[in-house]
Amino acid sequence: MKSAVTTVVSAADAAGRFPSMSDFESVKGSFDRAKARLEAAEKLASCLDKFTNLAVDAVYQNGSYEQANKDKCVRDIHHYLRLINYCLVTGGTGPLDEWGISGMREIIRIQLLPTAAYIEAFIFIRDEIKINDVMGQQAETEFKGLLDYLINALA
């Protein structure tokens, strides 16, 4: 699984060099943000169902998507948020990259689910839910950074 350390070491190895000082500073920055990431993971874990339901209800309330797909969307949004939670703990995007983005994109495509609904749900979580009521500013920044990463990957 990718973490800050494995990403830096793999990149340096692929370039045929030892990790540089800036590589080590990048790893240090990841360790410095660990407390905020763990706070975000803890708070997100306690709000997974709430965030999922608010986002899916907001997306499906206007009737743009088939209600028959709503339960699958709830399941998948919840799964993605759990993967974001794992990313917050590991300090890297490995869980999303390995289990969420490529794998889930294929499942969404095969089941003919609207990718736009997922993107709208994550944008709703990022922009409409008052996350700062749940977690501190730095933790919110870490969480929203991973939401942005996921939104861009699915778009």
Contact 124, 58 (CB under 8 A): yes
Residue 80: the pLDDT is 94
Residue 67 in domain = yes
pLDDT of 3 above 90:
no
Mean pLDDT over residues 103-118, rounded? 79
Question: Which residues belong to the annotated binding site for (2R,3E)-phycocyanobilin?
Answer: 73
Q: What is the pLDDT of residues 5-34, one digit of tens each?
A: 788 888 888 999 998 898 889 888 888 889
Locus of tokens 């965030």? 51
CATH no. for residue 49?
Answer: 1.10.490.20
Virtual torsion, Cα 12, 13, 15, 17, nearest 10 deg? 70
- Domain span at residue 62 reads 34-152
Residue 4, φ and ψ in degrees, nearest 5: -60, -40
Banded pLDDT at 2 (limits 50, 70, 90): low
Residue 14 in domain = no
Q: What is the pLDDT of residues 121-146, one digit of tens each?
A: 999 999 999 998 999 999 999 999 99
pTM of the model: 0.85
Question: Which residues belong to the annotated binding site?
Answer: 73
Q: How many separate domains does the chain show? A: 1
Query: Which residue in 112, 120, 124, 43 sits closest to 84, CA to CA?
Result: 43
Mean pLDDT over residues 30-58, rounded? 94
Locus of tokens 């997100």? 44
Residue 9 in domain = no
Q: What is the pLDDT of residues 80-92, one digit of tens each?
A: 999 999 999 988 8
Average pLDDT, the chain: 89
Contact 119, 44 (CB under 8 A): no
